[in-house]
């Protein structure tokens, strides 16, 4: 085996595990009873999800008057959380689709969990505009253009909010399809190892009768590539359209043409931070350190530095234009309000978390230390939440008319709904790691062989 | 293909443990004109399509067709609901801030999203349909270990130029771990 080891580069999966060993490492944990750590995590997530249910039911029963919103600040925690969660989802598609198209083979160990993260993050995101409608049972239906008895009175296709509905629902659907197609051969692997009748039936039904036929693989690989090709522009469009919810308005601080690329860079930044948070825990708990290696974490830290500087550039561009445009309102919004006004603390939290602290990743020692990486990933998550808070709330609370200026103080319902959404996310994620292979078995096997043989085949 | 709807077919199967072996044995079998039915691998082995002389996948055409349908749907949906009145169906054109009724630039996001949605869904459905896979299907010709660590090649005994001795010789020459007749499950 050693004679085949590549001397040109580090292997992507360390230890040259035999193919059966890869199957055992990934599927084995699904077949054993859950560990105490998993049970504890799942219990905690369920409790937090319970909090979410209480807060959301209370809000729906009593109306959004239970939130701290007022006439001036019509969007607060709800839309901040929506943009926060959608942004997190983006890293999953970036890793699974864009890195696939760029032939970045290191993605194979992490793409499955990143895709799952996307799905659950988008679900968390979608709950916020829904409950924000106050009467979600109407709101959800009125967004859909169906033949109706209201005239027929149709939805307004010139509104970015409607574009957003199409973007988010398409994004969720395509991400789910992409994720499931990736799972089918792996579910067949689980099926063929199953010993109990119930596992055989469930995994048998879900694996669609997959038997590893190369005629099937041929079509499968084509479909996978097509979906990657479709997802790559899709993910860019989603956050572009989310940014248009703001950019097409006339509020200083929102009305900005750099919003689409700025939001996309921010989404990748926050998403990679969330992937790191999850993977640093998952590789430790599930003992997958030889598959999700320090090399993977290091690569992601490099992406964090790059995208962190991109958002830093966007923050400073906003100030430049605030001054250069000569518009009093723009200048006021950035210089007198955002950076030095009553909510300046949130602005400086954002800058220190997103622009200053990621600079530690210039040092290899920091990029390869899981503890530092974990702490930094949390810091970036906090910073990116504040970015959306700064954009939404500080822009709204002081606009053109001083007589309508107001302050925003969120209520316990908003805090609980936000914290509870993490319960929803981790509840779904922890269930996923128990029922489906958390690493793409087929793709890792292909990479493991490739690493053994070095670049002789040159794929 | 010699797909028998009622009688399950049996194939002469050679099972290997290495990716290289399945590549070379498949190449040799197709070069010798033996009736290769299919190969079975735990992951997509690059270059095996070529060795097996598989035609290009037709999924791309399905995706293109789906994408076109999505674009058309978006175009019809938006132009009908936003401003066009026909003798049979009439919408309710809304004047929003004096903007044009049919601003195609404002329609671009939905054009794009529905094109991607329809193309993606038809890619998935098309791939499963072309492969004959569906939820709850029982795997046909399931060779032990091919979803784990084995690579297999199946030769069709009813095919043209079939010669059992030759096939067995070829399998042995490429280091087959196991050679057996394996039937499809009914």
| pLDDT value at residue A15 | 47
Cβ–Cβ contacts within 10 Å for residue A358, how many? 25
Q: Which of residues 286-305 of A touch B (CB under 8 A)?
A: none
Interface touch B59/A222, C-beta < 8 Å: yes
Spatial CB neighbours of B84, under 8 Å, sequence gap ≥ 6: B91, B102
pLDDT at A17 over 60: no
User: Is pLDDT of A456 > 70?
Assistant: no
Which stretches of chain B drop beneath a pLDDT of 70? 1-7, 84-92, 186
Listed by start position, the domains of chain A span 2-457
- HEC profile of chain B: CCCCCCCCCEEEEEEECCHHHHHHHHHHHHHCCCCEEEEECCCCCCCHHHHCCCCCCCHHHHHHHHHHHHHHHHHHHHHHHHCCECCCCECCCCCCCCCCCCCHHHHHHHHHHHHHHHHHHHHHHHHHHHHCCCCCCCCCCCCCCCCCCCEEEEECCCCCCCCHHHHHHHHHHCCCCEEEEEECCC
* Residue in this structure with the two tokens 């039911």, named with its chain if needed: A57
Kindly tell me if the per-residue pLDDT of A222 is higher than 70. Answer: yes
pLDDT over 80 at A448, yes or no? no
Q: Are A219 and B63 inside 8 Å of each other by CB?
A: no
Q: Give the best residue of B9, B97, B113, B136 to mutate against chain A (max A CB count within 10 A).
A: B113
pLDDT, mean of residues A140-150: 73
Cβ-defined contact of B126 to A23 (cutoff 8 Å): no
Residue A424 pLDDT: 95
What are the strands, taking DSSP E only, across A237-369? none
Q: In the sheet that B36-40 helps form, which strands lie side by side, from edge to edge?
A: B36-40, B151-155, B10-16, B178-183
Q: pLDDT at residue A449 above 80? A: no
Cβ separation A220–B44 shorter than 8 A: yes
**Residue A19 and residue B149: Cβ atoms within 8 Å?**
yes
The pLDDT tens digits of the residues spanning A407-442 come to 999 999 999 999 999 999 999 998 998 888 888 888
Q: Are A224 and A181 in contact (CB under 8 A)?
A: yes
Tell which residue, B110, B106, B112, has the closest CA to residue B94: B106
CA triplet B40, B42, B47: central angle to 5 degrees? Answer: 65
pLDDT at residue number B33? 85
What does the pLDDT read at residue A4?
45
Going by C-beta distance under 8 Å and a sequence separation of 6 or more, which residues neighbour residue A4?
A452, A453, A454
pLDDT band at A391 (very low <50, low <70, confident <90, very high): very high
Between A409 and A292, the higher pLDDT residue: A409
Tell me which residues of chain A, numbers 140 to 159, contact chain B at a CB-CB cutoff of 8 Å: 145, 151-158
Quick one: CA torsion of A160, A166, A168, A170, rounded to 10 degrees?
Answer: -150
Cα distance from B163 to chain A (closest Cα, Å)?
A: 23
The mean predicted confidence, pLDDT, of chain A is 86
A16 part of contact set with chain B, CB < 8 Å: no
Please tell me the predicted confidence (pLDDT) of residue A84: 93
Residue A142 vs residue A192, higher pLDDT:
A192
**Which residue shows structure tokens 């040092």?**
A363
The 10s digit of each residue's pLDDT in A318-376 is: 999 999 989 888 899 999 999 998 999 999 999 999 999 999 999 999 999 999 999 99
For A156, the closest of B19, B38, B94 (CB atoms) is B94
Phi, then psi, of B151 in degrees rounded to 5 = -125, 130
CA A180, distance to chain mean position in Å, is: 17
Q: Is A39 on the interface with B (CB under 8 A)?
A: no
The answer, for A456 touching chain B at a CB cutoff of 8 Å, is no
Interval A164-178: pLDDT, tens: 999 999 999 999 999
- Chain A residue whose CA is closest to B81: A154
Which two three-digit tokens encode residue A152? 């027929």
Q: Which residues of A touch B135 (CB under 8 A)?
A: 205-206, 208
How many C-beta atoms lie closer than 10 Å to residue B162's C-beta? 14
CA distance B102 to chain A (A): 9
Q: What are the backbone angles phi and psi of residue B10, rounded to the nearest 5°?
A: -120, 145
- The predicted structure's pLDDT at residue B85: 66
Is beta strand B36-40 parallel, antiparallel or unpaired with respect to B151-155?
antiparallel
Ordered by where they begin, the domains of chain B are 10-56+138-183 (3.30.70), 59-131 (no CATH)
Under 8 Å between Cβ of B133 and A211: no
If one looks up domain A2-457 in CATH, what number appears?
A: 1.20.1630.10
On the CB side of A126, CA atoms within 13 Å amount to: 19
Confidence band of A457 (pLDDT split at 50, 70, 90): very low
Count CB atoms within 10 A of the CB of residue B82.
24
Does residue A182 contact residue A111 with C-beta atoms inside 8 Å?
yes
CB A182 within 8 A of CB A119: no
DSSP β-bridge partners for residue B154: B13, B38
> Which pLDDT band, with edges at 50, 70 and 90, does A377 fall under?
very high
Phi, psi of A307 (to 5 degrees): -70, -30
Interface-testing mutation among A146, A226, A249, with chain B (most B C-beta atoms within 10 A): A226
Strand B10-16 versus strand B36-40 pairing type: unpaired
CA distance B134 to chain A (A): 5
CB-CB under 8 Å, A208 with B128 = yes
| Beta carbons within 8 Å of A372's beta carbon, 6+ residues apart | A360, A366
Q: Which helix (H) or strand (E) holds A427?
A: helix A412-435
């Amino acid at each position: 085996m050693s004679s085949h080891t590549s001397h040109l580069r580090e292997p992507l999966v360390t230890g040259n595990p035999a193919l059966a060993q890869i199957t055992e490492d990934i599927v084995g944990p699904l077949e054993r009873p859950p560990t105490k750590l998993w049970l504890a995590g799942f219990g905690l997530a369920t409790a937090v999800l319970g909090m979410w249910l209480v807060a959301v039911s209370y809000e729906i029963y009593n109306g959004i008057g239970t939130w701290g919103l007022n006439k001036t600040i019509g969007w607060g925690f709800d839309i901040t959380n929506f943009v926060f969660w959608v942004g997190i989802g983006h890293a999953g598609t970036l890793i699974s689709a864009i890195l696939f198209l760029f032939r970045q083979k290191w993605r194979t160990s992490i793409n499955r969990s990143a895709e799952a993260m996307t799905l659950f993050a988008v679900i968390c995101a979608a709950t916020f505009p829904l409950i924000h409608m106050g009467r979600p049972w109407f709101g959800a239906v009125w967004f859909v253009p169906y033949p109706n008895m209201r005239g027929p009175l149709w939805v307004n296709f010139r509104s970015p909010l409607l574009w957003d509905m199409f973007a988010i629902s398409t994004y969720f659907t395509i991400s789910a399809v992409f994720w499931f197609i990736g799972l089918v051969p792996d579910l067949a692997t689980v099926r063929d190892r199953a010993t109990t009748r119930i596992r055989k039936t469930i995994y048998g039904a879900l694996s669609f009768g997959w038997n590893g036929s190369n005629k099937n693989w041929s079509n499968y690989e084509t479909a996978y590539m097509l979906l990657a090709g479709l997802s790559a522009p899709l993910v860019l469009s989603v956050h572009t359209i989310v940014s248009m919810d703001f950019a097409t308005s006339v509020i200083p601080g929102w009305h900005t043409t750099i919003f689409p690329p700025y939001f996309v860079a921010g989404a990748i930044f926050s998403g990679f931070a969330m992937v790191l948070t999850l993977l640093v825990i998952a590789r430790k708990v599930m003992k997958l350190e030889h598959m999700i290696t320090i090399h993977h974490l290091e690569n992601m830290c490099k992406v964090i530095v790059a995208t962190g500087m991109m958002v830093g550039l966007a923050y400073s561009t906003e100030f430049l234009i605030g001054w250069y445009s000569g518009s009093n309102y723009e200048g006021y919004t950035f210089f007198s309000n955002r950076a030095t006004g009553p909510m300046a603390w949130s602005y400086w939290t954002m800058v220190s978390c997103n622009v200053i602290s990621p600079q530690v990743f210039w040092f290899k020692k920091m990029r390869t230390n899981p503890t530092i990486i974990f702490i930094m990933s949390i810091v970036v998550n906090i910073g990116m939440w504040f970015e959306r808070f700064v954009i939404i709330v500080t822009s709204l609370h002081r606009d053109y008319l001083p007589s309508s200026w107001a302050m925003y103080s969120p209520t316990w319902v908003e805090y609980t709904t936000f914290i509870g959404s993490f319960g929803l996310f981790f509840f779904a994620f922890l269930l996923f790691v128990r029922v489906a292979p958390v690493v793409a078995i087929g793709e890792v096997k292909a990479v493991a062989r490739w690493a053994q043989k070095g670049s002789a085949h040159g794929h | 293909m010699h797909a028998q709807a009622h009688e399950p077919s049996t194939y002469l199967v050679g099972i290997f443990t290495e990716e290289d072996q399945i590549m070379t044995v498949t190449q040799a079998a197709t070069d010798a004109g033996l009736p290769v039915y299919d190969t079975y691998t735990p992951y997509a082995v690059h270059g095996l399509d070529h060795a097996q002389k598989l035609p290009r996948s037709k999924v791309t055409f399905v995706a293109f067709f789906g994408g076109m349908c999505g674009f058309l749907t978006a175009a019809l949906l938006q132009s009908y609901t936003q401003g066009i009145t026909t003798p049979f169906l009439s919408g309710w054109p809304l004047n929003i801030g004096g903007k044009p009724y049919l601003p195609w630039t404002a329609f671009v996001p939905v054009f794009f999203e529905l094109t991607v949605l329809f193309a993606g869904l038809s890619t998935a459905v098309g791939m499963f349909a072309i492969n004959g896979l569906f939820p709850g299907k029982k795997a046909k010709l399931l060779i032990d270990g091919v979803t784990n660590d084995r690579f297999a090649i199946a030769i069709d005994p009813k095919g043209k130029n079939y010669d059992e001795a030759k096939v067995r010789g070829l399998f042995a020459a490429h280091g087959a771990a196991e050679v057996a007749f394996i039937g499809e499950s009914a």
